[in-house]
Amino acid sequence: MPGSNQTESSAEPAANNVKTWWLSGLPGAGKTTLAQNLARHLREQSIAVCVLDGDEIRQGLSKDLGFSLTDREEQGRRTAEMARLLNLNGISAIVALVSPSMRGRALARGVIGHDKFVEAYISTPLHICQQRDPKGWYAKAKQNPALQLTGVSAPYEAPISAECVIDTSQTDLADAIVQLTSFLRK
């Protein structure tokens, strides 16, 4: 039937544009700001999108988790499962999550699927993140080293082969959004 072939072929490119951007980096690197602005840009293009912010997820779905590496990886796994479900339903996901381990990010890529997963390393230097300290985490970590803050008393394993690397202290917001949206055309 000519009409159904046309519908299938026009729906295919849209399905190929469903992505999960996994924004990883130190606290204060700019992940949430980038996620919110990327979502706004995509919505202006009539692309269905949902932001999955680590701090918000911790208030509900992951409120039973602490900040050990095991708990952080479980937080990432849960978030990846949500992103996968969104993608299956034609909704792109933007994940703003510290996700400090390479193993945890590899697990997320495996859950979501290699063809839909865009790893974006928000590589803003520690001293800039400490100056920004939008949520007061670095100040709290100074007073309580047991807090296990990533970049201070807990390690962050920088991605070796992220699809996108953005240092928000060097890249303005508009250029960062251009870099992130370039993956829709691929």
Smallest CA-to-CA distance from 86 within 59, 109, 63, 112 is with: 112
User: Is the model's pTM score more than 0.85?
Assistant: yes
CA gap 10, 15 in Å, rounded:
9
Q: What angle do CA 154, 159, 161 make, to 5 degrees?
A: 170
Closest CA to 22 of 102, 127, 90, 89: 102
* Active-site residue (options: 62, 99, 101, 123): 99
Residue 14's pLDDT band (boundaries 50, 70, 90)? low
Structure tokens at 158: 């920088």
In which band, very low, low, confident or very high, does the pLDDT at 4 lie, cut at 50, 70 and 90?
Answer: very low
Is position 169 annotated as part of the catalytic site? no
Q: Which residue has the tokens 């996620």?
A: 35
Q: What are phi and psi of 39, to 5 degrees?
A: -60, -45
What is the arithmetic mean of pLDDT over 41-62?
Answer: 94
Q: Which of 53-67, 114-128, 142-156 has the lowest mean pLDDT?
A: 142-156
pLDDT of residue 15: 58
* pLDDT(186) > 80: no
pLDDT at 147: 77
Tell me the C-alpha distance between 66 and 4, whole Å: 50
Say if residue 135's pLDDT is above 90.
no
74-130, pLDDT tens digit by residue? 999 999 999 999 999 999 999 999 999 999 999 999 999 999 999 999 999 999 999
Do residues 92 and 16 lie in contact, with contact meaning Cβ atoms separated by under 8 Å?
no
For 99, the token pair is: 């996700």
> Which residues contact residue 160 at a Cβ distance below 8 angstroms, ignoring those fewer than 6 apart?
102
* Percentage of the residues of the chain whose pLDDT score is greater than 70: 90
Instruction: Provide the percentage of residues in the chain whose pLDDT is more than 90.
Output: 69
Residue 17 pLDDT > 90: no
List all residues 6 or more positions away from 67 whose beta carbon is below 8 Å from its beta carbon.
Answer: 147, 148, 149, 154
